[in-house]
Structure formats: C-alpha cells, structure tokens
Amino acid sequence: MTLAKQHNAQREGTPQEGKRSCTRDPAESKARTVIVIQNDKGLHTRPATELVRCTSRYKSNVQLTYSGITVNGKSLLGILMLAAGKGSKIEVIAQGEDAQDVVTAISQLVSCRFHIQY
C-alpha cells in the first residue's frame, strides 16, 4: 500500500491492508428489565433526577417505556412525562457497550427507592 493510500485509509477510518479492525459495534450489546416503582409518591422530580444521574454515567442509550410512551432515560423531562405512580411497571431497554451495567445500576437504584427518605 502506498503512503498516500495509507494516509487516506487512516483519515477515512478504514482498516489498512493486512490488518483487521477489532472494534465492536456498540449497538451489539442490549439489555432489558422491568422495574416496579416502589416510592409512595411515584416517579416524581427527586427520584427522576436520581435516575438521570444514574443513567448519565453510562455511554449506552437508555429507553424507558410505560403506558405506551417511550422516553430517553437520560432526559429528566422525558421521565417526568411518564407520570408513573407507585406500582407502575416500566420497561428499561439499554443499548450500547455498557448496557448490562446501566440496567443493573437502575435496578439497584429502584430497589433502594432512589435513596430518598420521606
């Protein structure tokens, strides 16, 4: 491979001759769970803020679905739009390189009642 072709291959992000690309597609990893809101006041501003703090630490995309509405799990306004009360079952789907980690963290946060004492 000529020097010009190597330079173009590096610029375009294509693997050079004789070398394999070892990058994994982050969209490959997917994890899901269903959480049940246990807080007496439901998923109001304080627990929604804790949920956003939790999901924002991860690279994966997180979607929450409740009552036919799907929102971004990293968006405070989106989560509040769900208006999920106590006992609500919310489907959590994460997609990306740390999908399982974020789903586990969300499950732990919910089981701890979002670290909120009433």
Give the catalytic positions in this structure: 44
Q: Are 26 and 96 in contact (CB under 8 A)?
A: yes
Identify the DSSP state of 27: G
Rounded distance, CA 49 to CA 43, Å? 9
CA end-to-end span of the chain: 67
Largest CA distance in the chain: 68
Candidates 84, 80, 43, 78; CA nearest to 66 is 84
